[in-house]
């Protein structure tokens, strides 16, 4: 088996996570509270700024380092969902922002002075058909006036900045459905109460999910990222990074479940022998390991392509599908191995079980990935 990439980073992340054991996460989960101490520690140690160039205060490393960090966070029993968006959302600013925007925001993001963790794309009426978003930004002098609604926006209450996708030209007035969309960098501190309302949505897992309402929110034109009307292309860059990074979290989850199931199977004795001696216990754990190992290889390939600047949309999507399915199989296996104890809060298996189930649905559902592969990779006809 090949050695894991970035061993020093992985070891540092494991040491950091050891200070945030299951008790910490269980307490937060009960109250649906934000892991402020954990996020601040990740930031202080430089892990959330690993993709930011050194000239702006980051490490200047590639996505390969990012996936190593998030995999180890999740394998350690922690959860990167409270902060992972900072990695891929920052990329939209880094790749497409102006020199002035990067100089103004990136050093503050790297230091932790500013949090950029909110990514405003999905809407109630459009779902994953991004070209049908309705949130509209009307130009008014040196401002855009934004009206509309977003849903399933995580961490909006805990972010200083948000990357927001809006329409600046109606869909029926553009040559292609993906034209006429623009990206704005919204200062949440100034926006809340002045045209932006945030409504929390309580869900089965602690992801600080919200719904956003825009009512004539004024955003300075200088906060436009890139060119007006070209925003869909900018967002796609971020989405590819998002899928790869979240796939790495799924690999971490899968390995968490495999580690826990293996340890329990060795220790748990029934009828005078360890349950791990039974092939009915061994084989599902072994299969979970095989699936996670295979999925990790695809995640690594997608990250390498992204870092090389190669088109990687299909690879990013496939890595997310394979990793999320590997983590979900491993989660189910781990519950089954533990039996009734798998549902006990103190083992942390049920919490991680709930957390990893999300990735069959978000940030893109398994069926939509299969549709993408069928039409874009295999050339099969579209059904719509």
What residues are labeled active site? Answer: 242
Residue 54, CA distances (Å) to 49, 119, 379 in order? 9, 24, 42
Instruction: Give me the residues paired with residue 225 across strands.
Output: 183
Strands of 188-282 (E only): list them. 196-200, 209-220, 224-225, 269-270, 273-274
Angle in degrees, CA 97, 102, 107, rounded to 5: 150
d(C-alpha 354, C-alpha 25), whole Å: 13
Residue 9, CA distances (Å) to 22, 65, 67, 225 in order? 22, 8, 11, 32
- Alpha helix ranges (H) inside 169-230: 188-191
d(C-alpha 15, C-alpha 276), whole Å: 29
d(C-alpha 180, C-alpha 173), whole Å: 8
Residue 381 has phi, psi (to 5 degrees) of: -70, 145
Phi-psi group of 278: left, alpha or beta (phi > 0 → left; psi -120 to 50 → alpha; rest → beta): beta
**Beta strands 196-200 and 136-140: pairing type?**
unpaired
CB atoms within 10 A of CB 344: 11
Report the first-to-last Cα separation within the chain, whole angstroms.
44
d(C-alpha 255, C-alpha 288), whole Å: 9
């Amino acid at each position: 088996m090949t050695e894991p990439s970035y061993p020093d980073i992985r070891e540092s992340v494991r040491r950091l996570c050891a200070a945030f054991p299951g008790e910490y996460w269980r307490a937060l989960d009960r109250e649906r509270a934000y892991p402020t101490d954990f996020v601040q520690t990740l930031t202080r140690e430089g892990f959330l700024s690993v993709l930011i160039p050194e000239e702006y205060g980051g490490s200047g490393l590639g996505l390969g380092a990012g996936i190593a960090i998030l995999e180890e966070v999740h394998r350690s029993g922690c959860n990167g969902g409270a902060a992972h968006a900072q990695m891929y959302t920052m990329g939209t600013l880094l790749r497409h922002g102006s020199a002035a925007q990067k100089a103004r925001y990136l050093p503050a993001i790297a230091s932790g002075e500013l949090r950029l963790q909110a990514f405003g794309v999905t809407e109630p009426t459009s779902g994953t058909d991004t070209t049908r978003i309705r949130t509209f930004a009307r130009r008014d002098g040196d401002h855009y006036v934004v009206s509309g609604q977003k849903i399933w926006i995580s961490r909006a209450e805990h972010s200083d900045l948000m990357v927001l996708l809006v329409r600046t030209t109606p869909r029926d007035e553009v040559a292609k459905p993906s034209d006429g969309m623009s990206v704005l960098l919204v200062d949440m501190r100034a926006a809340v109460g002045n045209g932006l309302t945030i409504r929390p949505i309580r869900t089965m897992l602690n992801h600080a999910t919200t719904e956003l309402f825009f009512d004539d929110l004024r955003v300075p034109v200088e906060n436009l990222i890139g060119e007006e009307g070209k925003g869909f292309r900018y967002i796609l860059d971020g989405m590819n990074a998002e899928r790869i990074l979240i796939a790495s979290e799924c690999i971490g989850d899968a390995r968490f479940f495999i580690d826990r199931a293996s340890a329990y199977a060795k220790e748990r004795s029934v009828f005078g022998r360890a349950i791990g001696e039974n092939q009915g216990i061994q084989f599902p754990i072994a299969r979970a390991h095989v699936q996670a190992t295979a999925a990790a290889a695809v995640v690594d390939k997608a990250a390498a392509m992204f870092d090389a600047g190669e088109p990687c949309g299909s690879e990013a999507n496939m890595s997310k599908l394979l990793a999320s399915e590997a983590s979900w199989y491993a989660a189910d296996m781990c519950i089954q191995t533990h039996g009734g104890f798998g549902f006990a809060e103190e083992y942390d298996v049920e919490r991680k079980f709930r957390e990893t189930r999300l990735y069959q649905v978000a940030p893109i559902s398994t069926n939509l990935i299969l549709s993408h592969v069928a039409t874009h990779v295999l050339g099969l006809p579209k059904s719509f």
